[in-house]
Amino acid sequence: MRNPLYLAGLITPLWLAIALIVAGSLYPGYSHVNQAMGLLGAIDAPTHALWPWLAHFPLGVLLIAFGIGLYMRHAHLRLARLSASLVIVHGLASLAAGYFSCDNGCSLEYPSMQQNLHTIASVIMSASLLLASALWIFVARREGRKGLVWLSLVCSLFALGCLPWMAAAMDVGRGFGLFQRVNYFASLLWIAGLAWALFKDDRSGQL
pLDDT digits (tens, 9 = 90+) for 57-98: 999 999 999 999 999 988 788 999 999 999 999 999 999 999
Residue 205: pLDDT band (50, 70, 90) is: low
161-170 residue pLDDT tens: 999 999 999 8
Query: Rounded to an integer, what distance in angstroms lies between the CA atom of residue 112 and that of residue 24?
Result: 25
Domain that holds residue 178: 4-204
* Number of structural domains the chain divides into: 1
Residue partners of 168: CB distance under 8 A and separation at least 6: none
4-21 residue pLDDT tens: 889 999 999 999 999 999
Let me know: does 88 contact 71? Beta carbons within 8 Å. Answer: yes
Residue partners of 17: CB distance under 8 A and separation at least 6: 185
207 pLDDT more than 60 = no
Average pLDDT of span 28-37: 94
Q: Give Cα 54 to chain centroid, integer Å.
A: 14
Q: What is the pTM of this model?
A: 0.92
Average pLDDT of span 15-29: 96
Nearest in space to 101 (alpha carbons), one of 87, 112, 90, 91:
112
124-162 residue pLDDT tens: 999 999 999 999 999 999 988 899 999 999 999 999 999
* pLDDT at residue 1, rounded to an integer: 45
